[in-house]
Amino acid sequence: MAKELIKATRGKIAVIVDDAFQILGVKESAIYVKALLNLIEYPPESYERIVTIAATSEGISKYEIGRHRWAYIDVMWNMPRGGFEQLYGQISGDKPLFEDVWRITGGNPKALGQLYEANWSIDSVVDRIINERVITPRFISRWRGWLEEAVRDPDALWSPDAPEELINELVEKNLIIYFLPERNPEFWIDEPPGRDPELGIGKYVAWQTPLHREAVRRALQDIK
């Protein structure tokens, strides 16, 4: 489609792809990003300007793409407070106080939508995360000590002693974001988040949302 647009307009083109890697797979993610680069370097016709952006919540695809030289990877941790408050303000009807919603979602718009659909039931959304992320008794039993540390402080997983297998599994389950870059706006989309233990944001590691941390905390309590 982008190629046909270039042929037809030869003007300014923006190609934006959201979460395609979930369908394509991790290995194919790098091939897809390279195809976007080829669109810029080897277009079917000349153009005035073109930009390509591929966004994904699949943390593990970052490693596959990042090992190549032809892609820039920027990080985003949910919405900043100001923008999220504007989104919250557009929801009509009875709803919890903004501060309560901010603390449990961390500014994640999908989490806000899930809470709204669940009639603001945190328990329902947490149960859904536990089921979707397959947080099983076996998983909890094997990694209980490290998970308890990570719930208190996600940077516990940055320790040289932290099991790589656990870190990879948490990334694959999309429970954490591992290896946050320095808070230089050059490396981030929108505002870089500050370190915030209440929201589960460390210096190097963060939970995807406070709800994801709560799901692990709940599983630790319920599974003995």
Percentage of residues in the chain having pLDDT higher than 90: 62
Domain spans, the chain: 2-66, 81-120, 131-222
Instruction: Grade residue 173 by pLDDT with cuts at 50, 70 and 90.
Output: very high
Task: State residue 177's pLDDT score.
Answer: 94
Instruction: Grade residue 27 by pLDDT with cuts at 50, 70 and 90.
Output: confident
Least-confidence region, from 3-17, 20-34, 39-53: 20-34
CA distance 101 to 120: 9
Q: What token pair was written down for 34? A: 């390279």
CA distance 177 to 167: 10
196 contact partners, CB below 8 Å, separation of at least 6 = none
DSSP state of 70: S
Task: Tell me how long the chain is.
Answer: 224
Mean pLDDT of the chain: 91
Grouping H, G, I as helix, E, B as strand and the rest as coil, residue 205 is strand
Assess whether pLDDT exceeds 80 at residue 155. yes
Instruction: Grade residue 182 by pLDDT with cuts at 50, 70 and 90.
Output: very high
Instruction: Grade residue 170 by pLDDT with cuts at 50, 70 and 90.
Output: very high
Instruction: Grade residue 175 by pLDDT with cuts at 50, 70 and 90.
Output: very high
